[in-house]
Amino acid sequence: MSTPPALPASRLRPYRPGTSDPDWAVESIRARGVVLTRWHERLGELTDLRGNDPESRALLETLQFGARPARHRAGPPAALLERLREALRRQIDLIVEYGQLDLRGIEFYRALEADLVATPQADEEDPIGVLLERVCDQVHAFYEQAVGAPLGSSWPGITWKVVPTRLHPYQAGDPDLAPYTAAGSVALGEQQADVDVHIYAQHFGPEAYLSLPAILTHEVFAHVPAQPRRDHEPSIFTEGFLDWAAFTFFEASCRHLLRGAEGPALHHGRRLHDLRKGHPKFLRLGRTDEGDGLTPARRAGHQLAEAVVTWWERHNPELDGTAIRLRLAGLAARLNVHDGGLEMSAKDEFVTALSPRRPAMERALTHYFRDPTVGLDALLAASGVTTRGSR
């Protein structure tokens, strides 16, 4: 990959903790992230094609076991990555020597080994940071295009950190959800957004890694640019309509996020997304993203958006469905950064009224779909939302 510009458009800054002690839990997650990044073009074969083979399972177990954060360990953090690499190389030797493999299988595992020992790349230091930076750049570009003007300082500075968790972030007790051990949250300030990437320290494997593009896209798309700039209760706008828009954008931008692994990243992003929409486990959680009553808000926001897409598709059968979805996602983005004296509750009201079955809304939506650069006033008026002025 090319060297990122000195000041990326997304203004991403790595979080620097104020302590010199290496955090071994963070380091063990980073080490697994580095290995998963090096393997990402082969993760589909490792988990799907060979996912039920004892050889593949043993290797993935070693990935977890070899990166256990040591208690009371001193020394440079890089040692943990070296230990993990060595454990995996030994495991691959065992697999090749004793496994039930054909020639193609031997080639596959030797290729994994070659990826492990290849010369480090510039982006190896912080694979999650590299991914987040790509997400920020993609989302920022989409918002600028949707708004039709540079965002300038209205786009906040972004810091991020990995937060190792002692429990599964979704408290999963069932096998469907168990491998998805990563989650995100955003804390907003006047000029800044802090992205936390929560990862279960005991288990960070291919499914969690491959679900990160979808998770991070949701966090950056829905929460980082939010106006007004303060933390919000999950609602039909923040977790319904914006979640729908973020996922629509994720599906369109995934190929830029994990090149070579976009198929598996799409698959796991969709899988986690489906689990999040309806899974009862999610009703219990209380972070930015999850809370009581969230699942109905999420489902309602998605249904209203899909009804708009279906309506416009029916009237314009020559148009491509993805383009229609992205145009509506652009409306969600514009509304998200639209200040104009609107509170989040007014944006919720707008989403609730977002139905082409209302004649005024149908007219306003028709104008918007024909020319997505029109002002938001007509749409807001059609929803019955009153504003103190808009831009």
Give residues in contact with Zn ion (CB under 5 A).
Answer: 222, 289
Shortest spacing between CB 223 and Zn ion, in angstroms:
6
Numbers of helices and strands, H then E, in the chain: 14, 4
Q: Is 265 or 294 the residue whose CB approaches Zn ion more closely?
A: 294
Residue linked to tokens 């070296």: 82
Shortest spacing between CB 14 and Zn ion, in angstroms:
22
CA dihedral 279, 284, 289, 294 (to 10 degrees): 70
Shortest spacing between CB 289 and Zn ion, in angstroms:
4
Cα→Cα distances 273→29, 83, 138, 243, 348, Å: 23, 34, 20, 10, 21
Q: Which residue is nearest to Zn ion (CB)?
A: 289
Distance CA 133, CA 114 (A): 27
Token pair for 162: 């990995």
Shortest spacing between CB 186 and Zn ion, in angstroms:
8
Residue linked to tokens 């999040």: 276
Shortest spacing between CB 238 and Zn ion, in angstroms:
6
Q: Is 39 or 237 the residue whose CB approaches Zn ion more closely?
A: 237
Shortest spacing between CB 121 and Zn ion, in angstroms:
31
Q: Is 243 or 262 the residue whose CB approaches Zn ion more closely?
A: 243
- The neighbour count for residue 176, using CB atoms within 10 Å, is 13
Q: Is 56 or 248 the residue whose CB approaches Zn ion more closely?
A: 248
Q: Is 69 or 213 the residue whose CB approaches Zn ion more closely?
A: 213
Distance CA 234, CA 285 (A): 11
Q: Is 284 or 315 the residue whose CB approaches Zn ion more closely?
A: 284
Please, are residues 224 and 180 in contact by the beta-carbon 8 Å criterion? Answer: no
